[in-house]
């Protein structure tokens, strides 16, 4: 991996979905975060839908999080409105 020009790693939503009660998914997410930190690469968690998932990922040290917890997919003009309305991430 260190030979490729990677800028970020993603934690797939399939691991995020059950992260709060499946120890295997938690271990995989934790390993991805550790790998990203070790290689100085951003880690993005996909598919976050609940506050419990968000808190778990934050505790692991995952700084970039996306999913329906924040908003469904939006057209660009609506995204700008959303960003202007909410200047910071909850929590």
Which residues are catalytic, by number?
A: 46
Backbone angles phi, psi at 25, to 5 degrees: -65, -40
| CA nearest to 61, candidates 86, 47, 89, 42 | 42
| CA nearest to 13, candidates 57, 67, 74, 64 | 67
Which two tokens mark 89?
A: 């991430």
């Amino acid at each position: 991996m260190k030979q490729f020009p990677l800028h970020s790693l993603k934690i797939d939503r399939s691991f995020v979905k059950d992260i709060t009660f499946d120890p295997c998914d938690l271990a995989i997410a934790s390993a991805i975060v550790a790998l990203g930190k070790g290689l100085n690469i951003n880690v993005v968690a996909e598919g976050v839908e609940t506050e419990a998932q968000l808190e778990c990922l934050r505790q692991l040290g995952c700084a970039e999080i996306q999913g329906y917890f924040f908003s469904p997919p939006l057209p660009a003009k609506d995204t700008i409105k959303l960003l202007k309305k909410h200047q910071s991430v909850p929590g």
